[in-house]
């Protein structure tokens, strides 16, 4: 994993990493930890699953729709319940609103610390160490590179693989669409680190994984910053700090968090 990190990230002194870790802890303060697969937890995305089922409804549907073409591993960095500070940061960093820079800095710290401290365990547990990185494309017609790729640019030593959206698709669709993206260049035998900022149903990320596999990738590991969950209730919501109201499906915040 050290080879994955560029000089911009890996060259920081030990004290710099401790600062990043402190910022990452602050970004997830009061939030539930990402659960291990098991009863009530989806074996694919770590979201809620009905008792007696290994996968949640969406992941079960994906497995039926694109067998053998889905991501081999899905690794959420953190849980992002709706209304939490993290959920708001995941929307805010892509905007030009007040606080977007601070949100981006917190998310970058969260991602770098995960890749440096936690992700090596994925490779030791059997996941293929990545040979290239990719970001799930934006379907909203945003010009230029995806904000997440722009955020992490210069921090990874891996070469970047490209995905492009096929014309005519619904940019707001969240269901798995095996034809939504394509890889413009062959990826024969590649092990891809596929980065995404949010996971709700997982349809967009898995559509990207299908395109990578069809492009020749042998392994796809999805690392997603925030696994969206329903709002926290009761004492858990109080520990997570002041809630913020958002429009449905990650719309803009109605009022800012008090931070």
Instruction: Give the start-to-end residue ranges of the domains of the chain.
Output: 2-239
Say if residue 144 is exposed, middle or buried (CB neighbours under 10 Å; 0-12, 13-18, 19+): exposed
Confidence of residue 56 (pLDDT cuts 50, 70, 90): very high
User: Average pLDDT of 196-219?
Assistant: 97
The model's pTM is 0.86
238 CB contacts (<8 Å, ≥6 apart)? Answer: none
% of the chain surpassing 90 pLDDT: 72
User: Residue 218 above 90 pLDDT?
Assistant: yes
Q: How far apart are CA 202 and CA 14, in angstroms?
A: 35
User: Average pLDDT of 142-149?
Assistant: 80
User: Residue 182 above 80 pLDDT?
Assistant: yes
Query: Using an 8 Å Cβ cutoff, are 78 and 225 in contact?
Result: yes
């Amino acid at each position: 994993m050290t080879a994955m990190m560029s000089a911009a990230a890996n060259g920081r002194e030990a004290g710099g990493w401790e600062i990043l870790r402190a910022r990452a802890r602050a970004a997830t303060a009061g939030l539930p930890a990402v659960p291990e697969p098991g009863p009530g937890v989806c074996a694919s995305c770590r979201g809620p699953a009905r008792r007696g089922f290994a996968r949640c409804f969406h992941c079960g549907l994906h497995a039926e729709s694109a067998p053998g073409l889905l991501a081999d591993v899905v690794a959420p960095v953190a849980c992002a319940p709706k209304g939490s500070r993290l959920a708001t940061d995941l929307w805010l960093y892509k905007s030009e609103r007040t606080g977007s820079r601070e949100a981006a800095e917190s998310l970058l710290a969260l991602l770098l610390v995960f890749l440096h401290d936690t992700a090596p365990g994925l490779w030791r547990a059997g996941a293929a160490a990545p040979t290239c990185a990719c970001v799930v494309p934006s379907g909203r017609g945003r010009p230029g590179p995806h904000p997440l790729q722009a955020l992490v640019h210069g921090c990874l030593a891996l070469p970047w693989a490209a995905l492009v959206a096929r014309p005519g698709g619904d940019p707001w669709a969240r269901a798995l669409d095996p034809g939504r993206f394509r890889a413009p260049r062959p990826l024969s035998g590649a092990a891809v680190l596929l980065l995404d900022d949010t996971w709700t149903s997982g349809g967009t990320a898995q559509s990207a994984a299908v395109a990578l596999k069809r492009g020749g990738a042998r392994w796809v590991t999805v690392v997603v910053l925030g696994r969206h969950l329903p709002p926290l209730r009761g004492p858990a919501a109080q520990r997570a700090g002041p809630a913020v109201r958002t429009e449905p499906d990650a719309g803009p915040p109605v009022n800012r968090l008090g931070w």
